[in-house]
Amino acid sequence: MKRGLVIGKFMPVHEGHMALIRFASTRCDELIVSMSYTGLDPIPFHLRFSWLKEITNDDSKIKPELIKDDFDDESLPWPERIKIWACFLEKCYGVVHVIVSSEEYGPMLAAHMGVAHITFDSKRTRVSVSASMIRQQPFSNWKFIPPIVRPYFVKKICLYGPESTGKSMMSRYLAELFQTEYVPEVAREIINSNDFTTDDIIKIGQAQTERILEKAKTANKILFCDTDLITTQIYCRYYLGEVPPMLQELEKQITYDQYFLFDIDVPWVADGLRDLSNSRQSMFDLFKSELEIRHIPYLLVKGDYEEREQFMRGEIEKMIHD
């Protein structure tokens, strides 16, 4: 049986990697795809490895493997480092007949291991991308990122602030404008009055978190979120006088790339649930202070609805263009 080997960090795995792996798979009976990692990698290794396994699981010949890169010594000359790699890989994987790579070191590594080498697209003409290019400019290289990997790079935008400031309307509008997804205020799907319990508020927090994670899978670069778990905690404390620890744990599960804090300089609009029209300034101050306590930067959204739309649109355009 002819065993092949492909090595890499896959940080992240992209279409270039997949072209290499598919090519290598056609030239052997079993293909080991070895992913190395360190504790300092910018993308967590367990996440990268889950992507790799998911993307390759339709080919039984491909065997993803995970190895910790604690054997390399970057202070050594390149030829010496390659010898160390060769020795380590032989110990890990035993008999290998061919190494397939796009890297300059590939032939040297194969020679030290005493196996054949096949070069694939070393000039990156078939798929003109690299992992570092994706990390630096994910949106410019979006087409090279597999669907399972894209949620990692989706930028989550939180529209944040007190009642009746236009967050819901703006999140829907911007999602349509940028041809992407938005997450509504899930609380309105669960309760229809301000008479709720701690159990209700925990369900709201869980549902809001689950919806964000789900929508990130299909979002097009940007995901607009109408509210967050800080907001849920604020209203829980206001109406119930306490914040269950579960809400604080749920808050940790989602990190937003940008907060937009909506000012109260637009008319109040009643809708059946809103009942804090006489506390707009104090609520705005509370929302603002919760961000500042957490050292979360934000952009203030103010003016009429047209001014708000123009401001947010401009800021998001900057984000999309890396």
pLDDT higher for 106 or 124? 106
C-alpha distances in angstroms, 16 versus 38, 123, 131, 145? 22, 11, 9, 9
Q: Residues 185, 190, 196, 198: what is their CA dihedral angle, to the nearest 10 degrees?
A: -80
Nearest to 62 by CA among 101, 96, 34, 102: 34
- Beta strand ranges found along 53-180 (DSSP E): 62-68, 98-101, 116-119, 155-160
Nearest to 212 by CA among 232, 235, 242, 191: 232
Give mean pLDDT, residues 28-36: 97
Give mean pLDDT, residues 86-109: 94
pLDDT digits (tens, 9 = 90+) for 148-183: 999 999 999 999 999 889 999 999 999 999 999 999
285 token code pair:
């101050």
- Provide the mean pLDDT of the chain: 93
Is 274's pLDDT higher than 60? no
Give the C-alpha separation, 309 to 300, whole Å. Answer: 12
Cβ of 300: how many Cβ atoms within 10 Å?
Answer: 13
Amino acid in the structure at residue 152:
Y
**What pLDDT score was predicted for residue 137?**
95
**Half-sphere exposure of residue 91, counting CA atoms within 13 Å on the CB side?**
8
* Cis ω for the linkage preceding 107 (within 30 of 0): no
What is the DSSP-derived secondary structure letter of residue 281? H
pLDDT band at 74 (very low <50, low <70, confident <90, very high): confident
What lies within 8 Å, CB to CB, of 40 at 6+ separation is none
> Among 162-176, 189-203, 208-222, where is mean pLDDT lowest?
189-203
Q: Give strand pairing partners of 36.
A: 67
Decide: 31 and 8 in contact? Cβ < 8 Å. no
Give the C-alpha separation, 309 to 136, whole Å. Answer: 28
Decide: 9 and 40 in contact? Cβ < 8 Å. no
pLDDT band at 20 (very low <50, low <70, confident <90, very high): very high
- Beta strand ranges found along the chain (DSSP E): 3-8, 30-37, 62-68, 98-101, 116-119, 155-160, 181-183, 222-226, 258-262, 299-301
Looking only at the bridges linking them, the beta strands covering 258-262 and 299-301 are: parallel
Amino acid in the structure at residue 277:
S
Domains of the chain: 3-144 (3.40.50.620), 154-320 (3.40.50.300)
Give mean pLDDT, residues 125-144: 93
**What pLDDT score was predicted for residue 164?**
86
pLDDT band at 271 (very low <50, low <70, confident <90, very high): low
pLDDT band at 196 (very low <50, low <70, confident <90, very high): confident
Give mean pLDDT, residues 306-311: 96
DSSP calls for 261-274: EEPS-S-----SS-
pLDDT digits (tens, 9 = 90+) for 237-257: 998 999 999 999 999 999 999
pLDDT band at 189 (very low <50, low <70, confident <90, very high): confident
For 53, phi then psi, to 5°, come to -65, -40
Is 213's pLDDT higher than 90? yes
pLDDT band at 267 (very low <50, low <70, confident <90, very high): confident
DSSP calls for 2-59: -EEEEEE--TT--HHHHHHHHHHHTT-SEEEEEEEE-TT-SS-HHHHHHHHHHHHTT-
